[in-house]
Structure 1
């Protein structure tokens, strides 16, 4: 690499670092300011052995804070998380599954919209056509995902069709060992999806978790059709089950081959109620379906 090229990279790194530091300071100032901060962080400020308003001047200075304890997110009142600077905004509360007791809560104003608007720009229009309708095959109830996928569909000019799925009931069935009931509930959820897809709603895009996508493809095959034949061309799939092995199985076995052969584009993502959304670059057989 030439000296000029090395200098350019160093300048880009310096610029990125400066922007990160600037953003860090801006956020800390906002959250610990008496006029804009939330009751939770303003109370925490009094417990710190430093003043975040004067002693956080870079991203590295965040190390001065103790580790965040996610147990703080359990229970209420959730308004302790609402910043004074946003207290007049419409407020949403999203919850985790609650499998270990009281669910953890996340208070949100607009970030679930922004996340998915940014994500929208990574979707190829050829397979996620603007104006197309969507199927949301995932958890409903007090979760960020349903509203976020609905907003994604609307942002792209479409309408989102949702099924009714309660993952907390699924967890209870598993804990009780009611596996027959669990299988029936799975069928109930997939039947809803099949009904929507075969009702003439012109749905071309969808969200599904890996397990539900697998079950949907199987159910369609049992009915003599396929995910392609019902019109799906773009699939946004997310969940912690994603592995290169499952992705290979999905693309090669369920879809019948890579995008250029099957006509179906899938974008793997990772996300949950608390952290939001992170999408992968396109996965390929050449990279052994690595998700990154």
Structure 2
């Protein structure tokens, strides 16, 4: 079992101290009458401790009960709006909802701030400032579409989008309408290729693994390659990211690593509740292993024991992914994700724990429809 590089200890300690301080500030904000949202101010009355006086570090968040999925389903959604944000323009984003009521998150600035932080991680060589973007992913009431659009604008470009309704795809899959699913995917790819071949100077793209593969196939049918589109930077995300797929994508679809193909792809792990976790650089030397690191201190991911959600597993061991969100407008302590993976060590760029091998949590995997797009 490898150990953490001793030279990283000062950075790890500093990151932990920053997280502890940030946690206290965020809890104070969410539980103070003048700033907190109605949901947490009401929930405070039900707790057996006082968050304002008894949360003094990140570890103290274990005092909160498990965050329940259903708290985010149904209305009134404005119970999540911070008292000092009541007069600000507010968005609502949905996640889930393939069947039943979707989870909702109200947002004022978070999606912009999350993606501006992410922007700083993108290499300008492949994601040129001023280059236009294509958003090849889910549209509708989802954070991702507006977030990618803001990312493009933040970097000086314009974002082109397609129509894609994943809920309709799930319904077709459940009915066994495979021919219709195939046609719908073709419809989405046709939209993308039409935009890419319309001389819009598109240099960057968001797409999921399945849609990247489908796009490359659609281009090939037209006698084209990804290089022919002019795209040099691809930001991607989705549960379909595996070392095997990444190797196939880089070596077969793109024609080699970025220095050879001219196309750079960065995997990410994110959702409407967390924001965006960046990946450690993915290389052939490490067999295309993908390790994600949450954007601390705004969000924290832990890999915890299947038997005790307050206990982290050892490095390299498997557990369930536990998410905590800590922003000025959204507080979620200990949300159990529908994913599992392996705990990864801190490294120079992100001196805190990461997670690799992300996949559906084994106890619910059989009932989960993944990889819709």
Give the match for residue 241 of structure 1. Answer: 240
Alpha-carbon distance between aligned partners in 2 of 1:266 and 1:119, rounded to the nearest angstrom: 14
The answer to whether the Cα contact below 8 Å between 1:73 and 1:104 also exists between their aligned partners in 2 is yes
Alpha-carbon distance between aligned partners in 2 of 1:147 and 1:25, rounded to the nearest angstrom: 30
- Count of aligned pairs between the two proteins: 287
Consecutive unaligned residues of structure 2, counting only runs of 5 or more, are 292-373
* Structure 2 residue matching 1:216: 3-state secondary structure: helix
Greater fraction strand: 2
Give the match for residue 42 of structure 1. Answer: 41
Give the match for residue 154 of structure 1. Answer: 153
Give the match for residue 168 of structure 2. Answer: 169
Give the match for residue 102 of structure 1. Answer: 101
* Structure 1 residue matching 2:229: 3-state secondary structure: coil
Consecutive unaligned residues of structure 1, counting only runs of 5 or more, are none
Give the match for residue 178 of structure 2. Answer: 179
Shift of 1:15: 3.8
Alpha-carbon distance between aligned partners in 1 of 2:146 and 2:186, rounded to the nearest angstrom: 24
Structure-2 change in CA distance of 1:181 and 1:12 (3 Å)? closer
1:82 aligns with 2:61: no
Alpha-carbon distance between aligned partners in 2 of 1:14 and 1:272, rounded to the nearest angstrom: 27
Q: 1:154-182, CA deviations, whole angstroms, 9 ceiling, x for partnerless residues? A: 00000000000010110111111111111
* Structure 2 residue matching 1:286: 3-state secondary structure: helix
Q: 1:163-203, CA deviations, whole angstroms, 9 ceiling, x for partnerless residues? A: 00010110111111111111111110000000000001011
Shift of 1:281: 2.2
Structure-2 change in CA distance of 1:71 and 1:220 (3 Å)? same
Give the match for residue 205 of structure 1. Answer: 204
Give the match for residue 124 of structure 1. Answer: 123
Alpha-carbon distance between aligned partners in 2 of 1:95 and 1:170, rounded to the nearest angstrom: 17
Shift of 1:260: 1.1
Alpha-carbon distance between aligned partners in 2 of 1:10 and 1:243, rounded to the nearest angstrom: 30
Structure number with larger C-alpha Rg: 1
The two structures have a TM-score, normalised by structure 1, of 0.95
1:228 aligns with 2:249: no
Alpha-carbon distance between aligned partners in 2 of 1:198 and 1:166, rounded to the nearest angstrom: 23
CA RMSD across the alignment: 1.5
Give the match for residue 288 of structure 1. Answer: 287
Give the match for residue 25 of structure 1. Answer: 24
Alpha-carbon distance between aligned partners in 1 of 2:127 and 2:279, rounded to the nearest angstrom: 16
Greater fraction helix: 1
The two structures have a TM-score, normalised by structure 2, of 0.75
